Chains A and B, each alone.
Chain A
Amino acid sequence: MQLVINSAGTYITQKDGIFRLKNKDRSFDVSPQKVESIVVSNQAMITTQAIVAALENNIDIIFLDGYGDPIGRVWFAKMGSTALIRRKQLEIAEDKKGLELVTDMIRKKIENQTGFLKKLMYARPGKESFFENPIKIIDSALAGLDMYNGTVEDSRNSIMGVEGTACRAYFQCLSRLMPEKYIFRGRSRQPAKDPFNAVLNYCYGILYSRIEKACILAGLDPYVGFLHTDNYNKKSMVFDLIEPFRIFAEQTAVYLFTGKKIKDEYFRTTDNAVSLNDKGKPLVIDAINSHMDETVRYRKKNVKRKYIPQHEAHRLANILLADEGEKRPEWLGIKEF
């Protein structure tokens, strides 16, 4: 399970190899065997023994800011796997292969979007007209993806353009499915301007930390990306690799709204920003966790969604390691739809 610390003044200690959470007169013991990660989103105190126990058991401690974006994590001092992967990552970023990998990721992302829209369409007989146009726009954007060659550098802007066009059509279409008072106008980040974006941003934030973990475990350097340019402290690889998996966050957010699970009291509204409050966050975390815990068909096996990013990160690492001319292993085999 995920331990989410969201009440102020919680002590996290360790006794006899067991985590102990204490807050005033409440206390909860849990074995490290059962904990997957510790998420701290409020003021808390954590002892060094508890941190060490977490490290020894492969549990990562993540600190979240108010928007749900991870601002830091405690992780062991070593990176997983070999440094060769990271070296290859740098080489390939400037190579034709880098471009191929990038288009794969973006194509998968866009395919996921149309897949999801179609799924929503079949569930709403009689409303096909809502969907036809956006799907057409997205499909024609997708067709534009195959024409590039050279390096990522040359085609970065046009790829980003294709992605942007598809994205706009996609979110416009989603907006029309919302209950009337939650209809939104496009994406907004930091700050979100409406409840849907607030929920979606929070879901993305949780997903980021999962993808980052997958990168580190697979030996990929989270800071060296292909499509997303390198910058100070920018986790470009995470931003690249999250693309095909964003759908998990989007599904969670859409189903929360269309399933009428969202109430006004979950949000804090200031001038032109909307964010989740302490009532809303647990609901969203619960929703995305149970969504990620569902079993789906993946490479002829039944696998929980939460394990898929890890598998794909390993596959990406293998592609990086493969020699020239060697048959490239298939990757991004996510068959959601």
Chain B
Amino acid sequence: MSVLVWVIYDIVENKPRTRVAKECKKAGLIRVQKSVFLGKLESNRFDELSEKCLDLIDEETDSVYLFPFCQEDFKNIRVHGQGFDKKLVNDEILAMFF
């Protein structure tokens, strides 16, 4: 089972912040804003990412949100200005030509 996820964070120190960003990228999420990631994950990968983020941050000062949401909601997303590629985020691109 895979699930769509928003990951949003506020981290004070530089080092853990970059580590969290790297973990998100590694998990296959796509950076949509400086501290916002979006993408589709297997549900056990979702748990894995959540544990990793918990390890990295300082719970006294930082916060990381992992929001799972459904396809229904994804359809209703509205984007203004510089947006992301909806198909890429939703794993609908089957072949990427480069």
Interface hub of B26, B28, B93, B95 (most chain A Cβ within 10 A): B95
Closest partner residue, chain A, to B24 (CB atom): A31
- Taking CB as reference atom, which chain A residue is nearest B94? A289
Number of contact residues on B: which range applies? Answer: 10 to 19
Task: Say yes or no: A17 contacts B26, CB within 8 Å.
Answer: yes
Residues of A within 8 A of B (CB): 1-7, 10, 16-18, 21, 23, 26, 28-31, 33-34, 282, 285-286, 289-290, 293
Q: How far is the CA of A23 from the CA of B91 in the complex (A)?
A: 23
Residues of A within 8 A of B96 (CB): 1-4, 28, 30
Q: B9 → chain A, closest Cβ, in Å?
A: 18
Instruction: Kindly supply a per-residue 1/0 record for chain B positions 57-91, scoring 1 wherever the CB is within 8 Å of any chain A CB and 0 otherwise.
Output: 00000000000000000000000000000000001
**B28:A33 contact, CB within 8 angstroms:** yes
Return chain A residues, CB-CB under 8 Å to B45. 33
Q: Which residue of chain A lies nearest to B26 when distances are taken between CB atoms in the complex?
A: A17
CA distance A290 to B98 in the complex (A): 18
Bound CA–CA A21/B97 (angstroms): 11
Tell me the smallest distance from the CB of A23 to a CB of chain B, in Å.
7
**Cα-based distance from A33 to B26 in the complex (angstroms):** 7
| Contact status A6-B22, CB under 8 Å | no
Q: Which A residues are CB-close (under 8 A) to B91?
A: 1, 34
Total residue contacts A-B, CB cutoff 8 A: 57
CA gap between A105 and B75 in the complex, in Å: 43
B28 close to A285 (CB less than 8 A): no
Asked if B95 and A4 make an inter-chain contact with CB atoms under 8 angstroms apart, the answer reads yes
Docked Cα-Cα span, A289 to B26, in Å, equals 24
Binding site for A on B (CB under 8 A): 22, 25-29, 45, 91, 93-98
- Residues of B within 8 Å of A4, CB to CB, are 95-98
- Known A1-B91, A1-B93, A33-B45: A7·B98 in contact at CB below 8 Å: yes
Contacts of B95 in A (CB 8 A): 1-4, 282, 285-286, 289
C-alpha gap A293/B45 in the complex (Å): 22
CB-contact partner of B94 in A2, A5, A7, under 8 A? A2
Min C-beta distance of A236 to chain B, whole Å: 29
Query: Residue on A with the closest CB to B41?
Result: A33
C-alpha gap A3/B91 in the complex (Å): 13
- B25:A10 contact, CB within 8 angstroms: no
B25/A28 in contact, CB under 8 A: no
CB contacts (< 8 Å) of A26 on chain B: these are 98
Enumerate chain B residues within 8 angstroms of A282, measured Cβ to Cβ: 95, 97
Chain B contacts for A2, CB-based, 8 A? 94-96
Bound complex: CA A286 to CA B93 (Å):
9
Q: Which residues of B contact A7 (CB under 8 A)?
A: 97-98
Q: Given the complex of chains A and B, what is the CA–CA distance between A293 and B92 in angstroms?
A: 10
Known: A1-B94, A29-B25, A30-B28. 13 other contacts (CB 8 A): A1-B91, A1-B96, A2-B96, A3-B98, A4-B98, A5-B98, A18-B25, A26-B98, A31-B25, A33-B45, A34-B28, A289-B95, A290-B94
List residues of chain A with CB within 8 A of the CB of B22.
16-17
Contacts of A285 in B (CB 8 A): 95, 97
- Residue ID in chain A nearest B29 by CB atoms: A31
Q: How far is the CB of B37 from chain A (nearest CB, A)?
A: 11
| Minimum CB distance partner of A26 in chain B | B98
Contacts of A31 in B (CB 8 A): 25-29
- What 7 A-B pairs have minimum CB-CB distances, sorted nearest first? A31-B28, A33-B28, A289-B94, A2-B95, A34-B28, A17-B26, A21-B98
